[in-house]
């Protein structure tokens, strides 16, 4: 009996694809790479290499690639669970985290701090 392979490519395979055959990179390839990251299967070096390779490949200007990566991250995102005065997250509708890390050392204006006001 053959066991179906859910992800034919691990992040290391996707990295090879980006470096050796960048012209044949597809949204499915980058999704496999992101899935490896989201599942905790990738090392820090592999994650750094993946993000750098994607930037060098220029996928940030390709909406199909960005959308595929976004969908994969959202599918793997942890949804917060809370209860405030008997209301759950679902009762509040869409909830967005607007707080950045700040402290960039450049004395820049942090818009996320004021956006909550």
pLDDT along the chain (117 residues), means of 10: 50 90 91 94 94 91 94 87 80 72 69 66
Determine the pLDDT at residue 101. 62
The answer to whether residues 85 and 93 touch, using CB atoms and an 8 Å cutoff, is no
CA distance 45 to 36: 13
Determine the pLDDT at residue 30. 94
- Closest listed residue to residue 17, CA positions, set 105, 5, 8: 8
User: What is the pTM assigned to this prediction?
Assistant: 0.67
Q: Is the dihedral of CA 80, 83, 88, 93 positive or negative?
A: negative
- Closest listed residue to residue 102, CA positions, set 115, 117, 89: 115
End-to-end CA distance of the chain: 59
CA distance 22 to 30: 11
């Amino acid at each position: 009996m053959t066991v179906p392979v859910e992800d034919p490519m691990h992040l290391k395979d996707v990295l090879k694809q980006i470096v050796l055959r960048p012209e044949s990179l597809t949204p499915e390839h980058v999704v496999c790479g992101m899935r490896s990251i989201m599942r905790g299967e990738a090392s820090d070096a592999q994650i750094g290499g993946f993000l750098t390779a994607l930037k060098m490949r220029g996928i940030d200007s390709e909406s199909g690639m960005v959308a595929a990566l976004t969908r994969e991250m959202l599918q793997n995102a942890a949804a917060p669970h809370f209860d405030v005065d008997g209301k759950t997250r679902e009762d509040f509708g869409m909830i967005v985290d607007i707080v950045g890390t700040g402290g960039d050392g450049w004395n820049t204006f942090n818009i996320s701090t004021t956006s909550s006001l």
